[in-house]
């Protein structure tokens, strides 16, 4: 089993740590769970990587896979992301909360749509990079992005853009 040096791991933590935490929070909807997922990801990276595979794409792929594992856990099946963040609870129509409408709708997207939205628009990865990270064909990623955007557009219909 190949491992990386502690210096290389320190560089990974410094270079990608904040981005990983931000993505994990958006992905999981819980800061505490996101922190755990990032720590677990660092352990997996340390155990599995060699110096040549420490690209941002590799690091984020490990994180996404760890987040997926967390979502499959018993906790995620029992707790709603909206329950974790009641401030995002919004009524339909004009009563919809003005702040956080977009974040709320992203949090309640099915995981396969949420992950492509987060990776593309929050982390700036290309469709090809996302496809490699998720182990999915590029057309599948493109279709998921289009469907996710269509769902968000429909759900956010009538919400002024400045409130997003």
Q: What pLDDT, in 10s, does the model give residues 97-113?
A: 444 778 888 888 898 99
Find out whether 108 and 81 touch, Cβ atoms under 8 Å. Answer: yes
CA gap 27, 102 in Å, rounded:
14
DSSP-derived 3-state class of residue 28: helix
Cα dihedral 22, 27, 29, 30 sign:
negative
Tens of pLDDT along 20-73? Answer: 999 998 888 888 999 999 999 998 988 876 655 678 888 899 999 999 888 887
What is the structure's pLDDT at 12?
A: 86
164 falls in which pLDDT band (50, 70, 90)?
A: low
Kindly report the pTM of this predicted structure: 0.67
* DSSP code string of 73-117: SHHHHHS-HHHH-GGG---SGGGS-SSSHHHHHHHTS-HHHHHHH
Find out whether 163 and 98 touch, Cβ atoms under 8 Å. Answer: yes
Residue 94 has pLDDT above 80, yes or no: no
115 CB-near residues (< 8 Å, 6+ apart): 27, 64, 67, 68, 134
Tokens 């999981």 belong to residue = 28
Which of 26-30, 40-44, 91-95, 154-158 shows the highest mean pLDDT?
40-44
CATH number for the domain formed by residue range(s) 1-79: 1.10.1740
CATH number for the domain formed by residue range(s) 86-158: 1.10.10.10
What is the structure's pLDDT at 99?
A: 42
Where do the structural domains in the chain lie, given as residue ranges?
1-79, 86-158
């Amino acid at each position: 089993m190949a491992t990386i040096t502690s210096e290389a791991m320190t560089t990974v933590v410094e270079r990608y740590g904040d981005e990983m935490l931000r993505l994990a929070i958006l992905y999981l909807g819980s800061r505490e769970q996101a922190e755990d997922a990032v720590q677990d990801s660092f352990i997996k990276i340390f155990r599995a990587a060699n110096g040549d595979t420490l690209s941002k794409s590799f690091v984020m792929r490990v994180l996404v896979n760890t987040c997926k594992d967390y979502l499959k856990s018993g906790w995620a099946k029992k707790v709603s992301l909206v329950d974790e963040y009641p401030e995002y609870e919004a009524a339909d129509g004009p009563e919809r909360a003005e702040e956080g409408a977009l974040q709320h709708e992203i949090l309640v997207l099915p995981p396969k749509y949420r992950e492509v939205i987060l990776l593309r628009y929050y982390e700036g990865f290309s469709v090809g990079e996302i496809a490699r990270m998720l182990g999915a064909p590029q057309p599948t990623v493109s279709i998921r992005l289009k469907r996710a955007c269509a769902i968000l557009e429909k759900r956010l219909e009538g919400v002024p853009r400045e409130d997003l």
